[in-house]
Amino acid sequence: MACDVEPVSDFSNWIPIRVSMSDDGPRVHWFRLGDLELDDTYFSDTVARAAKRPLNLAFGRETSIAEAGAIANGASLTPSGFILHMSRCGSTLVSKSFALRADTLVIAEPGPVNDVLTMRDASISNETRALWLRWIVQLLMRARRSKQTYAVFKLDAWHARYLPVLTQAFPAVPWVFLHRDPLEVLVSHMGAASYMMSAANAPAAAGLEITDAIRYPRAEYCARVLAGIADAIEAANPSRSQLVDYYELPGAIWARIGPLFGIESSEREIARIRASAAFHAKRPQFTFEPDGEIKRAQATSDVRAAAAAIEPNYRWLRSPTQQ
């Protein structure tokens, strides 16, 4: 569906940073990106750099979603692939590995995509949401440098719950789902709190009201979020090739995920990924040390009980019978 609103001003140097809901419908908030590149580990880090420019703070732009659609019109950009994940399972290693390539734009956890997917308004149909999502993704992809022929989007973990909208928006774009032993994931979440597992994110991540989310013991709530994500993946009926276990990394990046996205790696590129994977993806000042056994040993009884509830999901994800 095309957008029949005329474009306003010149937005060629601007990217959407947020989509908010107003009485008049969704509003898109823009920052000028200028010479800044989308080369940070996470999209929000680049936005934070752009926020250091007073022009963006004083004269950041705002449009309706229809105007954003008009600006996106004519762009026939399609992502190479989407990375979905269970959280704490190597997804940042995967996105950063693709970002090592000069020919690939990687956008990790873009806020505007989350805004469109999780906007709480029952009157918005999946079809409309998918249309808005296409516009936002295409607008973000305009930040590509000329030599970047591929674009990979790493989404937030809870976006698996919105797969029907994602696949409606981009039916031909491949996606993968990264997973890990839920006990190890849960121990990681218990040790380091995140917005993902906060009650504030419960409507998006668990389909729960904040007031209901806070009634759950922490481990049980986190397990419920993970189970919801795994259930959503199972409902999407992915092929075996789309499911990647944490313990298949980093090899699966060039052997499975890259080829699925149409991105082949040379021996030199594989060597670069291997070298990069030797360091912690989120704290690259530290070398990477396998911590699965340590995490399992750290699990308390309540965490073990919570993880046991997700065990059937994990078995399904690892099932060799998946085609």
Chain positions contacting other proteins, by CB under 8 A: 9-10, 13, 17-18, 29, 32, 34, 44, 47, 51-60, 111, 195, 198, 201
Smallest distance from the beta carbon of 9 to other proteins, in angstroms? Answer: 5
Smallest distance from the beta carbon of 203 to other proteins, in angstroms? Answer: 14
Smallest distance from the beta carbon of 54 to other proteins, in angstroms? Answer: 4
Alpha carbon distance 276, 166 (integer Å): 30
- Which positions ≥6 away from 290 have C-beta within 8 Å? none
- Classify strands 61-64 and 104-108 as parallel, antiparallel or unpaired: unpaired
Comparison of 63 and 97: residue with beta carbon closer to other proteins: 63
Alpha carbon distance 172, 57 (integer Å): 37
Comparison of 192 and 294: residue with beta carbon closer to other proteins: 192
Comparison of 55 and 275: residue with beta carbon closer to other proteins: 55
Copy the structure tokens of residue 173: 């774009």
Q: How far is CA 140 from CA 111, 130, 143, 245, 246, in A?
A: 11, 15, 6, 29, 28
CA distance between the termini of the chain: 34
Comparison of 176 and 222: residue with beta carbon closer to other proteins: 222
Alpha carbon distance 219, 313 (integer Å): 17
Q: What is the largest CA-CA distance in the chain?
A: 60
Closest residue by Cα to residue 116 from 43, 2, 16? 16
Smallest distance from the beta carbon of 201 to other proteins, in angstroms? Answer: 8
Comparison of 29 and 295: residue with beta carbon closer to other proteins: 29
Q: What are phi and psi of 243, to 5 degrees?
A: -105, 120
Smallest distance from the beta carbon of 29 to other proteins, in angstroms? Answer: 8
Smallest distance from the beta carbon of 167 to other proteins, in angstroms? Answer: 25
Comparison of 20 and 126: residue with beta carbon closer to other proteins: 20
